Each structure stands twice: as structure tokens, then as C-alpha cells.
Amino acid sequence: MRTSDGFDLAEFFEHEPLQSYEGVSLPQLPNAFSLFGPYSWSGGSYHVMVETQAGHIIRVLREAERRGADRVAVRPEANARFLEFVRARAANSLLAISNCAPAGSYYVDHHGDFSSLRPTTGLQAWWTSRTFPLDDYTYA
């Protein structure tokens, strides 16, 4: 995916750790949302994950409508804060402690991170999708 300003998602993820704010969005991709982005799945029900991600997206879109905005993007600092949070939590997980990276697991990406798994419970992810600060996004 290449944007009109030249941002290429594949190139970005080739060189940068896989990331997305709350598993939903990236600063470089305004008005683009994902239901199964990096760090979105808490290991529970797929349906709960989709409901959680959709709830996040709906909150952002409703806020954009309230503000009369037609362009929304997560703030880079919010994305960086979430990436730092999940990487710190993941560092204490069984996958990290047992050094599963050499095992060839599909959970481990080419950077050595297991970015498909969100290191929180499904309930924590669901709650966060309903309470994250709406000002973590810009609206224009």
C-alpha cells in the first residue's frame, strides 16, 4: 500500500517493527483502519477481537463526525506510547522468556517480535477500546 505522499506500508514494516495504535491505525495512514493489525489479538475469541477493534474505529469515526472532520490520523506519540506499552508487557511473556524466536513460529515476525499477539487480556483490550483518549487522534 502506497499513499499519495509516498508512504509505503510494506517498506515501512520491512525496516520498522510491526506496530499499530491499539491494533487499529498508524499515523502515516490517515482514514485507514485495521481489524487485525499488529498487537490486536489478545489470544481469545476472534469475534471479541473484531468487536473490540470495530468499537475503537466507531468511536473515532463518531468523534470525527462530531468535529466535522473528514480526515483522522492517530498521533505519532500515541502510537509510540502504545508500542512501548505492548513491547514492555510482551517482554515478560512466555514467548519472550522462553526465546521462541528461533523456533520458526508464525507468531514471530522477521524482526523477532510476536506482534500478532496483544499482551493483555481480551477484557483489557475491550475496555481500552471504549476508554482510550479520543485526542490520541488528530481530526481535520
> What is the Cα–Cα distance from 110 to 69, expressed in whole angstroms?
37
Classified as helix, coil or strand, 93 is coil
One-letter amino acid of 74: V
Confidence bin at 107 (pLDDT 50/70/90)? confident
Per-residue pLDDT at 113 exceeds 70: yes
The secondary element (H helix, E strand) that includes residue 64 is helix 46-67
Kindly report, residue by residue over 33-82, the tens digit of the pLDDT.
999 999 999 878 889 999 999 999 999 999 999 999 999 999 999 999 99
- The topology (CATH level 3) of 9-139 is FAD/NAD(P)-binding domain (3.50.50)
Classified as helix, coil or strand, 131 is helix
Domains in the chain: boundaries: 9-139
